[in-house]
Structure 1
C-alpha cells in the first residue's frame, strides 16, 4: 500500500471515530498523581445492563484511542501522547480535580461579611432598629437570633458594637445628606418644637421641619431630639434652635420661618430671640390651658375632687370593682370602668365626669352595698345639685372636647383651623340668663384665658393665621370677620401672591371671583 494511501486511511479512520458517539470514560481515582491522567480515563462497558469499569484499559480523552493498562504503569499513555499529541505538556503532576459542591454543603457555608447578601441583611437590620426604635441589644436577643437563623442560616450576625458604631451612623449620614438636599430645595419651611421629659426625668427637645415638595407632598421630618442638660432659659433654647437651623442648612435669608411651640414663656421668648417669625402657639395646648382654668373654678374643683375620690376607691378595691360590675349587669348599664383623670389633660376630667354620669346609678347602688359600705372612708356621693352641675358643665365643655379631638386626630396641618375654632369656642362660651353662677364663672375663666393667648395686638401673627384660613377652601369665606377686615385680608393675600408669583394674575382673578 502506498504511503500516501496509508496516511489517508488512518486519517479517515480517526474522522469516522470522532463523528461517532464518544465512548463513556470513567475518571481515575483522585490518588493518581501522574499528569497523564488529565488526558486518560478508564473504559466503561455495560454487561447485562450493569455498568462495569474496565480498569485493564484506558481511553484517550483527545482521540478516544483505547490502550492496555497495567496497574501503576503509565508508559503506554505517555508514549501515546508524545506520538499523537505532541503539543500536550506532560511534565509536572496532576491537578486535584475540583468537585462541584452539593446543595447541603453550599447551604452550610457561611456568607462572607463583605458579600452583597450579607451587607443587604445587615443594612436591613439597621433600618429595622431605626424605624421601630429598637435598642442595639436586640441583636443579642435569643428570639431575634433564632429568627435570623431560620430565615438565612448562612448569615453571621455582627456584634452589637458593629451596629452602634458603623451601621446606624452610616444610615444616619445617608438619610441626613438626602434630607439636607430636600430642605435646600424647599422654598418654604416651618418648624415645630416640643420640650418633654422622659421617665428617667431626662429633658429633651425635639425639632421637626415641615415643607411641601414640588409634587405637593407634605414632608414632616424630625430633625433632631437632643438632651437638654443646661437650664431651660430662653437664651439656651434659642441657641439650640439656631444651631439646628444651621446644621440642617435651612435658608433664613430669603424667607421667614414660622415656629410652632407650646405656651411656655421660655420657648416663646426663645423663638423671638432667635429671630423666627411668626411664633404659632399650639392651639390644642391653648385649649387645654383654658379648660384647666375653667376646671379650676372653686365649686368646679370641689366637684371634681368628690368624683375623683369615688373613682379612686373603685380602682383600688377589687371587691368594690366586682360589686360595681354586678350592679351594672343588674341595672342593664354598659360594663364600662370608671375613668381616672390626669392633671395635665383636661379632657380626661371631662371623660371622668361623663363616665360617672353614665354609671351614677350603679355607683350609688354599689356604694350602699353592705359588702363594701363598711370600707368607705371620706367618700361622699354626689347630691342632686352636684349631678345637675356636672351635666351643665359637660354641655359647656362639649365644644372644647370636640376641638381637642379634632386637633388630635388631624393628619394634615391645622394652622388654618385655629381662628375658626377659636371663634367657635368663644361663641359657645357666651353667657345666657339660664346659666347658673358656677357655669358663668367657668365660661368666663375659659374666655379670659383663650383671648389672651392670641391677642389682636400681635398683628403679624393674627394676619398670618387669617391668611392661612383664607387659603383653606373650608373657611375661605371667613364668616367670623366683618366685611372691612375680610376685604383688607384678601387684598394683602393678593399682594403676597404677586410678590412671590408675579405671573399668577389669572389665579388672583379666580380668587376675586370666588370671594
Structure 2
C-alpha cells in the first residue's frame, strides 16, 4: 500500500471502504480504497510519469533510502498535458509568430541547447506539429479574441493597402482602428495573398469578405488608402450610415453653387 499516491487524486471526504477518486492530472476516475491503492499507483505510473516518480521518491525518503533521482538516468521529460510543457510551448509559439521567426528554428540544435539548459524537462514540438496544429490553434484563438473586441467597438476606421513582393506576388493588408475604454487600438485584421489582377472589383471583393468575417460592415466609418486608381474606384461608394450625410453635403454644395451664380 502506498497512501502517498492519493495526494495525486481528488479523494472524497470521509471515505470508508471502496471509493472513486478523480485524477488531478486528467479527467480519469479510478476505483480503490485507502487500504488498496494499487489501482491509483498503476494509473499514475502509466499516465503521469512525473507524478509517479514523485510518489516513489517520497516513499524512498520515508524509508530512509536514497532518492530514486540518484539512480535515474537522464531527465524525465514533461508529458504533453503538463502545465509547464503547455506554458513553455505557448510562449514558444508567441515568440515565433510575434518576432516573425522561421519555423525551422525548432530544428536548430543551438536553440534546442539554449532551452535545454533553461529547462531540461521540456519537449520540443516538431516543425510539422508547430505548423499544422500549434500555430493554427493560436491563430484561431487570437482571431476569436479580436472579433470579440471589435464587437464592442462603436465605430471602426480602416487603412488598406496592396503591394507585391520581389517575386511579384500580391498581398493585401487591412488594419482596423477603434477606441476602447478611452484608448486608441490598432489591430491587423487581414494580411493575405492577393491572387489575380489588382482590379477595383477584386479589391472590393476581398475587402467585403474580410469585414463580413468580423461582422463589422455596419461599424466602418472611414477607409484610408493611397490614391491609386484601382483603390479609388474600389471604394467609390457611400459608407454604411453615411448616405444621409453625403446627400446633405451634396445639397449644400448645390445651394452654394446657386448663390454664386
Q: TM-score, normalised by structure 1?
A: 0.34
- Shift of residue 247 of structure 1? 0.6
Asked whether the 8 Å contact 1:110–1:156 carries over to 2, the reply is yes
Contact 2:161 2:226 in 1 (8 A): yes
Kindly report which structure 2 residues correspond to 1:28-39, keeping only aligned pairs within 5 A, or say none: none
Matched-pair contact (CA < 8 Å) for 1:107–1:154: no
Structure-1 residue corresponding to 2:158: 191
Q: 1:265 to 1:113 in 2, by over 3 A?
A: same
Q: Secondary structure at the match of 1:220?
A: strand
d(CA) in 2 for partners of 1:185, 1:106: 54
Aligned counterparts of 1:460 and 1:234: Cα–Cα separation in 2: 26
Distance 1:122 1:104 in 2: 29
CA contact (8 A) 2:158 2:220 kept: no
Instruction: State the match for 1:250 in structure 2.
Output: 216
Over 3 Å counting, the alpha-carbon distance change for 1:234 and 1:112 in structure 2 is: same
| 8 Å CA contact retained: 1:107, 1:153 | no
Unpaired stretches in structure 2, ≥5 consecutive residues: 1-55, 61-66, 242-247, 253-261
Q: Which has the higher contact order (CA 8 A, sep 6+)?
A: 2
Per the alignment, do residues 251 and 238 of structure 1 end up closer, same or farther by CA in structure 2, a change over 3 Å counting? closer
Structure 1 stretches lacking a partner, 5+ long: 1-96, 279-458, 464-515
Pairing partner for 2:239 from 272, 276, 279: 276
Matches for 1:318-337 after TM superposition, within 5 Å: none
Shift of 1:256: 4.7
Is 1:259 matched with 2:223? yes
Q: Give the secondary structure class of the aligned counterpart of 2:137.
A: helix
Secondary structure of the 1:272 match is coil
User: 2: distance between equivalents of 1:131 and 1:110?
Assistant: 27
Does the CA contact (< 8 Å) of 2:171 and 2:194 recur in 1?
yes
Does the Cα contact within 8 Å between 2:77 and 2:122 map onto a contact in 1?
A: yes
Larger proportion of strand: 2
What is the SS of the residue equivalent to 1:199?
coil
Cα 1:269–1:118, aligned 2, differ >3 Å: closer, same or farther?
A: same
Q: Which residue is equivalent to 2:149? A: 182
Which residue among 127, 136, 158 is the counterpart of 1:169?
Answer: 136
CA distance in 2, matches of 1:190, 1:179: 15
| Alignment check: 8 A CA contact 1:205 1:227 kept | yes
Q: 1:192 to 1:130 in 2, by over 3 A?
A: same
Contact 1:209 1:221 in 2 (8 A): yes
Whether the 8 Å CA contact 1:259–1:277 is kept in 2: the answer is: no
2:178 alignment partner, SS class: strand
CA drift of 1:185 comes to: 0.7
1:13-24 to 2 correspondences below 5 Å = none
Q: Identify if the C-alpha distance between structure 1 residues 208 and 103 changes in structure 2 by more than 3 Å, giving closer, same or farther.
A: farther
For 1:424, the equivalent position in structure 2 comes to none
1:208 equivalent in alignment to 2:189: no
Q: Is residue 204–residue 226 contact of structure 1 (8 Å, CA) maintained in 2?
A: yes
Partner of 1:121: 88
Q: Secondary structure at the match of 1:114?
A: coil
Distance 2:155 2:239 in 1: 13
The alpha-carbon distance between structure 1 residues 140 and 460, as it changes in their structure 2 partners (threshold 3 A), is farther
Rounded to whole Å, the distance in 2 between the matches of 1:198 and 1:260 is: 22
Whether contact under 8 Å (1:138, 1:144) holds in the other structure is yes
The equivalent residue for 2:194 is 228
Q: What is the alpha-carbon distance in structure 2 between the residues aligned to residue 271 and residue 460 of structure 1?
A: 18
Shift of 1:199: 2.5
2-structure distance, mates of 1:104, 1:154 = 17
The 1:108/1:239 distance shift into structure 2, 3 A limit, reads same
* Cα separation, partners in 2 of 1:103 and 1:182, compared to 1, 3 Å: farther
Counterpart CA distance in 2 for 1:225 and 1:179 is: 14
Q: Could you tell me how far 1:272 is from its partner in structure 2?
A: 2.1
Partner of 2:112: 145
**1:105, distance to aligned residue in structure 2 (A):** 4.0
Which protein shows a greater Rg?
1
Counterpart Cα distance in 2 of 1:103 and 1:259: 66
Superposition deviation, residue 229 in structure 1:
1.2
Distance 1:140 1:101 in 2: 32
Aligned twin of 2:203: 237
8 A Cα contact 2:158 2:222, kept in partner: yes
Q: Tell me by how many angstroms 1:269 deviates.
A: 1.0
